[in-house]
Amino acid sequence: MARDIKIDFTDLNNADFILGNGDLERESGLVTSVIISLFTDRRAEEDDNYENGDRRGWWADNISEVEGDQIGSKLYLLDRSKATQENIVKLQQYSFEALEWMLEDGVAEKIETEAYSFGPESNKRVALKVNIHKSDGNNIAIKFEDVWELTPVIGGN
């Protein structure tokens, strides 16, 4: 099974590769893949509500071997949004869209995303739960307790 370089995220803006015994540590639990899929900016569509004419996106999408294949998510489109039910639904949809490649590539048999708001009305925050049912029968659950602070809690069987 392929193994990703393990990345430690302390928050959305701070990540680092993990070194162990003089080499990069690796992990096969898909955590790094999930975080990269969710927090890399996918190019916005013409009809998306993006700011300053910047549709973002990853440069290598232009040279992908698979026509129309894109990495990342459109979560950044919600960066300054309020925690309305409409935006919660978009967050859930954008998250699933970013992880859908795992189904297409046979890495996962089922992916579930659940977004919800919490906290007082004056300071609503948003959480995201991701459950990946892997093709090998194992499952992984990742919860981002505050999506914009990136505090993943990882579980699974």
If you average pLDDT over residues 74-89, what whole number do you get?
Answer: 88
Structure confidence at residue 1 (pLDDT) = 47
Q: Do residues 127 and 150 lie in contact, with contact meaning Cβ atoms separated by under 8 Å?
A: no
Half-sphere exposure of 33 (CA within 13 A, CB side): 19
Structure confidence at residue 28 (pLDDT) = 66
Tens of pLDDT, residue by residue over 22-70, are 788 877 668 888 888 898 888 878 777 777 677 887 777 777 777 777 8
State the Cα–Cα distance between residues 29 and 46, nearest whole angstrom.
35
Token pair listed for 137: 């029968």
If you average pLDDT over residues 140-156, what whole number do you get?
Answer: 74
Classify residue 30 as left (phi > 0), alpha (psi -120 to 50) or beta: left
Q: Please, what is the average pLDDT of the chain? A: 82
Is the pLDDT assigned to residue 156 strictly greater than 70?
no
